[in-house]
Chains A and B, each alone.
Chain A
């Protein structure tokens, strides 16, 4: 049941339907529909803002202006214009593609990105569903996106797409492991997998202070998880043209694009929740604090992307298995020992 701040409003809504003698499933479905719509709206707005923001940041890093015309002030409507353009484009499906899988792939990727938003606590009570296995749920859902990427690469019937999909699979398998292990440290400290509980546990001290190593390994893995430079080898433009989505155009491509930015927001939001004290902060309202911290991390991700070169496939694997994994394990071991000693 959604714990939107006005919890009694939802309860009264249920009671109303009960009074009319309508089965409980109907109001529940209505509430779910409303919540999902809000999330989709939020994701779209955030993703479109991020696309515009990234274009601006990259432009200023590169001594350019970026979009300046659409909408007047600093081209703020550029993303909207792009979205409309992509919607109006012809929907091209290659003749020799595997049609059902080709059509399904972007939906799978987007659904995975969408589902992760369920457990992100934007503020006290501002969470769709406070699952007691929140972190586990996010990890499980975020690895689902890879299935969609492999589907896209395979069904396109294109060698570059297939290469991109294979790279993506290898990368996801490698980076999920240190990512999960680096998240266990803070979970041990908080004593709970629930995202709200983890934020509660950081009342006096952010976990980044206690777990700096875990934060670094998590953030590195998160960049790899979202397929962004320096770890963007599944879609390396100069090598694989565009990787797994090389055959996609129009709205299907836009959905991949949207999902990428939605995923970026998710991993940064999780980092904020687990390491940066979530919504906690003085003066400003909690949701604003949450967004500020998340957007700062997003800025760091963009900064990395526009400064660094791309690593090679074998180096990517080396970093994951030989550097990040031992570091994450060391961190976990030390945390476990300390927690055991002080409890």
Chain B
């Protein structure tokens, strides 16, 4: 036995690991983990053998804080969950409270919620597309996507005064009506935005390097996707047509006409393509909402001090990242007895160890990107 082999054997006896494989820490400080996530990856050369995601770096007791705040006071905290889709977090929470308290919200508020929600979905998917481009080495796509996302943020700034953490929705409707001429601004934005979509495609969808990079990697089988309780584009990418806007309609989504794009094989390409098509569908919904939006009040007459009747509610919405659920147990006081958020990215991230093994490091980055995680929501 040569000296090298002897040494390798000793190492294996002492540590239980062979020298051919090494553990690499991807994160918590790494350019492509999209936040403070740590992936412990076992590498055999360039091939990923095993992956253990470590989360919790951003834990800030979101749910426990909720138990100590009045119902209305929780709204600003929900902004900080999925900070790329704050409007949707507001909506999910307010919807849960409204269902719990039996509040009917005005027609105009319903339309505005759908309109704003879909604009938020566009903005969120744009960020995702941009950072996904960054993961694959295409910096230009990132900048282009941010350019249009800025415009959506400008629109939101006009209605709420904030660019990221809006706290714009209230239990019973919206905080304010939109400013005069805002709906025209949305129309102008769509007019600018629609010709931009083929431009993104030229950089991404139509590019052969892009296609080759993400087709057939990170496959998540439909049965795995279901058993891991994945939702949103991750689930739909695996070919399961499940979208709460259609399957469990909330708000007034049943009045709109739109398609649910689904993938076929569950690889990274499918998840990419599902999100890319969802942008088109969101544009469709926004256009319809703009057409039939009625005048009227935007906030139902609700008491200043809200008390929920004893009971519990689980209410869910289709956020850009999947099923965002709020579970509230009320004990009749001003504060919820228990408040729990079902974060879609947390659940989707749990399926990562199934998708990664057997692919290369470069694919690991693409697969992680395709799951579209927001660590603030994962850790709460």
| Contact A310 to B136, CB < 8 A, known contacts A159-B24, A239-B361, A239-B365 | yes
Is there contact, CB below 8 Å, between A163 and B46?
yes
Complexed CA–CA distance, A78 and B365 (Å): 32
- Beyond A63-B144, A309-B136, whether A236 also contacts B362 by CB under 8 A is yes
Report the Cα distance A61→B144, complex, angstroms. 9
Name the CB-closest residue of A to B141: A309
Q: Identify which of B55-63, B163-171, B204-212 touches chain A.
A: B204-212
Quote the shortest CB–CB distance from A245 to chain B (angstroms). 14
> Which of A23-31, A36-44, A86-94, A227-235 makes up part of the contact surface?
A227-235
The answer, yes or no, to whether B118 is at the interface (CB within 8 Å) is no
> Which residues of B in the span 341-375 have a Cβ within 8 Å of any Cβ on A?
360-365
Contact B136 A241, beta carbon cutoff 8 Å = no
Contacts of A58 in B (CB 8 A): 139-140
Is the CB–CB distance between B140 and A62 below 8 Å?
A: yes
Number of CB contacts from chain A to chain B under 8 A: 81
Q: Per-position contact with B for A236-267: 1 when CB-CB < 8 Å, else 0?
A: 11111100000000000000000000000000
Name the contact of B143 in the complex, choosing from A63, A163, A230 (C-beta under 8 A).
A63
Chain A 313-340, CB within 8 Å of chain B: the 1/0 string?
A: 1110000000000000000000000000
Q: Say whether, besides A238-B32, A312-B213, A232 and B140 are in contact (CB < 8 Å).
A: no
Q: Within 8 Å of chain A (Cβ to Cβ): is B151?
A: no
Q: Does B69 contact A (CB under 8 A)?
A: no
Q: Bound state CA distance, A310 and B46, in angstroms?
A: 16
Interface residues of B in 30-57 (CB under 8 A from A): 30-32, 43, 46
Q: Which residue of B lies closest to A230 (CB)?
A: B209
Q: With A236-B137, A236-B362 in contact, do A308 and B207 touch (Cβ < 8 Å)?
A: yes
Please tell me if the beta carbons of B137 and A232 are within 8 angstroms of each other in the complex. yes
B147 close to A (CB within 8 Å): yes
Cβ–Cβ < 8 Å partners of A314 in chain B: 360
Whether A311 is near chain B, meaning CB under 8 Å from some CB there, is yes
Assembled-state Cα–Cα distance A315/B213 (Å): 9
Is A5's beta carbon under 8 Å from chain B? no
Q: Interface size bucket, A side?
A: 20 to 34
Q: What are the residues of chain A within 8 A of B31 when measuring CB–CB?
A: 237-238, 241
Instruction: Output the nearest chain A residue to B32 by Cβ-Cβ distance.
Output: A238
Given A232-B137, A237-B31; A312-B363 close (CB under 8 Å): yes
Is there an interface contact between A311 and B212, defined as CB atoms closer than 8 Å? yes
A240 to chain B, nearest CB (A): 8
Tell me the smallest distance from the CB of B261 to a CB of chain A, in Å: 22
Chain B, 99-139, CB within 8 A of any chain A CB: 133-139
Could you tell me the distance between the alpha carbons of A59 and B210 in the complex, rounded to whole angstroms? 22
Q: How far is the CA of A162 from the CA of B251 in the complex (A)?
A: 54
Contact call A313/B362, Cβ cutoff below 8 A: yes
Q: Smallest distance from the beta carbon of B89 to chain A beta carbons, Å?
A: 28
Q: How far is the CB of A291 from chain B (nearest CB, A)?
A: 27
Asked if B137 and A310 sit within 8 Å, CB to CB, the answer is yes
| A306 close to chain B: CB less than 8 A | yes
A207 beta carbon closer than 8 Å to chain B: no
Chain B: residues with Cβ within 8 Å of the partner, total of: 31
Q: Evaluate contact between A307 and B137: CB separation under 8 angstroms.
A: no
The winner among A232, A238, A307 for most chain B CB atoms within 10 A is: A238
Counting CB contacts under 8 A, is B290 at the interface?
A: no
Residue pair B144, A62 in contact (C-beta under 8 Å) = yes
CA of A236 to CA of B139 in the docked complex: distance in angstroms?
12
A62 to B22: give the CA distance in the assembly, Å.
38
A233 and B210 in contact, given A61-B140, A63-B143, A159-B22 (Cβ under 8 angstroms): no
Q: Is B203 an interface residue (CB 8 A)?
A: yes
A309:B144 contact, CB within 8 angstroms: no
Known contacts: A159-B24, A163-B361. The answer to whether A230 contacts B137 by CB under 8 A is yes
CB nearest neighbor in B for A318:
B212
Whether A85 sits at the interface, judged by CB under 8 Å, is no
Q: Is A102 part of the contact surface with B, judged by Cβ < 8 Å?
A: no
Residues of A within 8 A of B364 (CB): 239
Contact A312/B362 with A163-B46, A241-B30 known, Cβ cut-off 8 Å: yes
- A307 & B140 in contact (Cβ 8 Å cutoff): yes
Chain A residues positioned under 8 Å from B32 (CB to CB) = 237-239
| 22 residue pairs bridging A and B, Cβ less than 8 Å apart | A62-B140, A62-B144, A63-B144, A64-B143, A167-B46, A229-B137, A232-B137, A237-B31, A238-B135, A239-B364, A239-B365, A241-B30, A306-B139, A307-B138, A309-B136, A309-B137, A309-B209, A310-B136, A310-B137, A312-B360, A313-B46, A315-B213
* B interface with A by C-beta (< 8 Å): 22, 24, 30-32, 43, 46, 133-140, 143-144, 147, 203-204, 207, 209-210, 212-213, 360-365
Q: Give 13 A-B pairs besides A310-B136, A315-B213 with Cβ atoms closer than 8 angstroms.
A: A160-B24, A232-B137, A233-B362, A237-B137, A238-B32, A241-B30, A306-B139, A306-B140, A310-B362, A311-B213, A312-B213, A312-B362, A313-B362
